[in-house]
Amino acid sequence: MSRAFLVVLDSVGIGGAPDADQYFNDGLPDTGACTLGHIADACAQGRSDDGRQGPLHLPHMGALGLFHALELGCGTPKAGLCPASPTGRWGAATEVSKGKDTPSGHWELAGLPVPWDWHYFPKTTPAFPQEITDLVCEIAGVDGILGNCHGSGTAMIDVYGEEHLKTGYPICYTSVDSVFQIAAHEETFGLNRLLQLCETLAPHLHKLRLGRVIARPFVGGPGNFIRTPNRHDYAMALPAPVLTNWVQDAGRRVYAVGKIGDIFSMTGIDEVRKGPDEVLMRHLSDLVDEAEDGSLTFANFVEFDSLYGHRRDIAGYARHLEWFDAELGKLLARLRPGDMLLLTADHGNDPSWHGSDHTRERVPVVIAGLGAGSVGQVGFVDVGASIAAHLGVPSQGPGKSFL
C-alpha cells in the first residue's frame, strides 16, 4: 500500500501570483515578488556569501524539477540551475483564498479554500480595540499590555522584553496576517500561564474570524532574548473536512510534523512531532523508515519563514535551502516503491522584498517517487486531491488530481 509525505517549505514561493497587486508590504504591492528566484539571483551575483558561497546549490530539489517549477511560476528561466531532464514531476500551484498567511495556504493545500474573509487589525497604534485589551488583562490578571501594534516578533521582544520582565505585562502584537500574538518570558511570566492565556482568549477572537492566537514564549535577558520552540498556535476550527480527515476516516494513520497539528486544530491527526527544523528533519527521516503503509505524513518546516523571510535575510534563507536539500538527498534513496513525497509551500516571503511580511506568490509542486514530467499550472486544492488519489481515499474537496 502506498504512503504519502506532504512537505511544506514554509514561504518558499516562486512568484507569479496573478493577484499579487492586491496584496501589500509597507504600502507597496507584492507584484514581482519571487522568493526562490530572487534568492537564486542574489547567490549568482555574489550578494549572499555570508556562511555560504556561490550560486544557489540545490542538486536534489533541482534534479526533481524545482527550478522548472520556478520558471513555470514566474516565467523567468534560471540559467545553469535547470537540469535538462528532471527526474521528478513538477508544477506551479496558485491559491484562491483571500490571504497570504499560514492557515489560508495550508487549508487550501489540504483541499479547503477559506470560505470567508479573515479579520485583520489596522496598522495603527493602538492596534486592538479596548475591549480586546481589557479581555487580555482580565484573563492574565494584569492591568496593562505592551506593544498593541503591528510588529516583527523578534523586534517586539527586543523592544519590550525588559519592560515585560519589570511589569509582567504580556507583549501583544499583530501583523498583516489574521493573528493576535502574545509574547511572554517562559520563566518570569510562565509558559503554562502564557498557553492558558492564549487558549482562553482564542475562542473570543475566533468569533471575529481571526485566524490564530499565537503563544510566543521566550527566554534570556536584556540584549539576549531568544524565542523558544514552545510556540503554540490556537487556530480557528475548520468548517469542513480536509485531507487529514479524509485519510484518517479511511482508517489510515496521519502524522503531523512541526506546526501542522496547531494549524489544523488537531483535526484528523493521530500523532504530532515538534521541534526546530533540524529536529523536524530527524522526525521526517524516522517516519520515512517507520510510517505504516497507507499513512500520510504532513510536515511544515517553518524556519525558512520565521528566521529568514521575515527578517529579510537572503544569505540565511539560501543556507537553509541548501541545508534542507542536502538532508532531502539522504531521504530520497530510502523511499519505498510506491511512496510519494511532494514538496510545496504555503505562500511566499521574499527576503529581498520591501517590508517584513509574507508575499503573495505561486508555490512549487515537486514530486519524488511518481516518475517524471510537468503537471503544469494547478490549484492549491489539487495538491490535497492528488495525495488522496495516490493513497486511494475519497477526496471531498473541489480539487482535481493531477497524477
Q: Which residues are annotated as a binding site?
A: 10, 305, 310, 346-347, 358
Report, in angstroms and rounded to the nearest whole number, the Rg of the chain calculated over CA atoms.
Answer: 20
Residue in the structure block whose three cell numbers are 521526517: 284
CB 254 within 8 A of CB 295: yes
| Inter-CA distances, 126 with 84, 130, 190, Å | 54, 9, 25
For residues 89, 92, 97, 101, the Cα torsion angle rounded to the nearest 10 degrees is: 90
Distance of alpha carbon 334 from alpha carbon 341, whole angstroms:
11
Binding residues for Mn(2+): 10, 305, 310, 346-347, 358
The verdict on whether omega for the bond into residue 394 sits within 30 degrees of 0, i.e. cis, is no
Distance of alpha carbon 264 from alpha carbon 283, whole angstroms:
19
For residues 255, 257, 258, 260, the Cα torsion angle rounded to the nearest 10 degrees is: -40
| Inter-CA distances, 317 with 25, 36, 321, 322, 384, Å | 19, 9, 6, 9, 27
